Structure 1
Amino acid sequence: MFGARFGLSTLAAAGFGNLISDVVGLGTAEPVQAKFNKWFPMKSLTGQQQLLWQTRAAKFGGCTLGVSVGCLLGMAPLFFIDGHKGKDGQPSLSAH
């Protein structure tokens, strides 16, 4: 819908959608982390603990999971769009 409204290619629309979702993710990361810190208090790590491979792997895994969930949530509107119908409401015969 974003690409159709602004006359963008599918790839450009996907890029802008990703940009918007990343900015929203950056804006909501701190409040979400603060809420989780209330529910699950974190212990402070020493400099040596922060350099451990297990710590870095856990951080990477958490970031990957967060981005993945955010991207999947960003695609949620696709469940409400029927991509098989044409502009006139009739089934589309084209493959695009």
Structure 2
Amino acid sequence: MSEIVDAAVTALNRRLDGAGIDGAVRFVIEDEGALLIGSDGAVPDASDDDADCTLTASAETFQDILAGDLDATSAFMSGRLKVEGNMGLAMKLGTLLS
């Protein structure tokens, strides 16, 4: 795993504050790796297991979302964030991160 993925896991767990989510969301950070967000928070993910929702973005976009400089909905609407699968779960995660 990359340092960016490790830093993202730490930042997400801080933002989620133990809340977790019902379901499994994989966040693919292009050219860096992936992480999985579920009921136990965020963890690095190297599996190919199915997730309820997969979000894909560049490292820059993901870092902007975590820093609060970019709203996840705006990132999606502008094409910087791609969503596959359960859109409701993606929206719930977006609410938790804002």
TM-score of the aligned structures, taking structure 1 as reference length:
0.25
Larger strand fraction of residues: 2
Larger radius of gyration, structure 1 or 2? 1
Structure with more relative contact order (C-alpha pairs < 8 Å, separation 6 or more): 2
Larger helix fraction of residues: 1
